[in-house]
Structure 1
Amino acid sequence: MDENTGVFVSRWLRSLGHEVFSVYEEARGIDDDKIIKKAFDENWILITSDKDFGEKVYRERYPHRGIIFLRLENERSANKVAVLQRFLENYSDRASDNFVVVTERQVRFAKMLL
């Protein structure tokens, strides 16, 4: 869980039984290169609102185990939880190894360039 996603979302995911590494709680301030590398090395799906991770994946070709990019109009924690809950209910089986753009209205699985 990237730093910008927040503690509320981390705690909510843990309450559902998910194992969560929260940059905000455990490694505040580390740079994006270290975050994406840690997520890959430790087999985590990264949840973020940071557009820079699209750059890391598509331009810089960083490997990943899955990235859920929350592109939300409403950045409040309760909205993040509601959006993620809908995503998990409908698409959790497709999160691994995909770059997924999630908004309040849609879910888009971005194509990987070769």
Structure 2
Amino acid sequence: MKLFINFFCDEDVSVLVAELLRARGFTVVTAHQVERLGVDDVAQFAYAAAHQYTLLTHNRADFEDLSMRYFETGQQHYGLIIARRHPPYELAQRVLRILDHVTADEMINKVRYI
């Protein structure tokens, strides 16, 4: 059983959000950090799934569709959190609320909206 969610933030999410979550002890990787800026969404989602990261994004339209394709084809992903645009401190607080109530195992193949 995996308890703590590890995150991959796509390039639309402020790196400050990642820093704020890391300061709380969570593992967070950004697209910038792993040199994935400009990579298409299909490849970003596959990267997150391959590394067992929950993807944090603001891009609802594209990633909802990708999540549905994974579901339809029986592929597993490690969660998707689609966030409305908020200031980084507020977004980090919203993510932390999820982390207080959801384990990594519970995020498998799930989509959450914040």
Tell me if 1:64 matches 2:73: no
Equivalent residue runs for 1:26-37 within 5 Å: 26=34, 27-37=36-46
Cα 1:11–1:83, aligned 2, differ >3 Å: closer, same or farther? Answer: same
Aligned to 1:20: 28
**Distance apart, 1:76 and its partner CA:** 1.3
TM-score by length of 1: 0.74
Rounded to whole Å, the distance in 2 between the matches of 1:21 and 1:95 is 20
Q: How large is the RMSD of aligned CA atoms in angstroms?
A: 2.1
Cα 1:30–1:77, aligned 2, differ >3 Å: closer, same or farther? Answer: same
Unmatched tracts of structure 1, length 5 or more: 104-114
The sequence identity of aligned pairs, in percent, is 24
**Distance apart, 1:99 and its partner CA:** 2.4
**Distance apart, 1:17 and its partner CA:** 1.9
Unmatched tracts of structure 2, length 5 or more: 1-8
TM-score by length of 2: 0.74
The count of residues paired between Structure 1 and Structure 2 equals 101
Rounded to whole Å, the distance in 2 between the matches of 1:95 and 1:102 is 15
| 1:34-61 CA-partner distances (Å, limit 9, x unpaired) | 1111111111111111111111111464
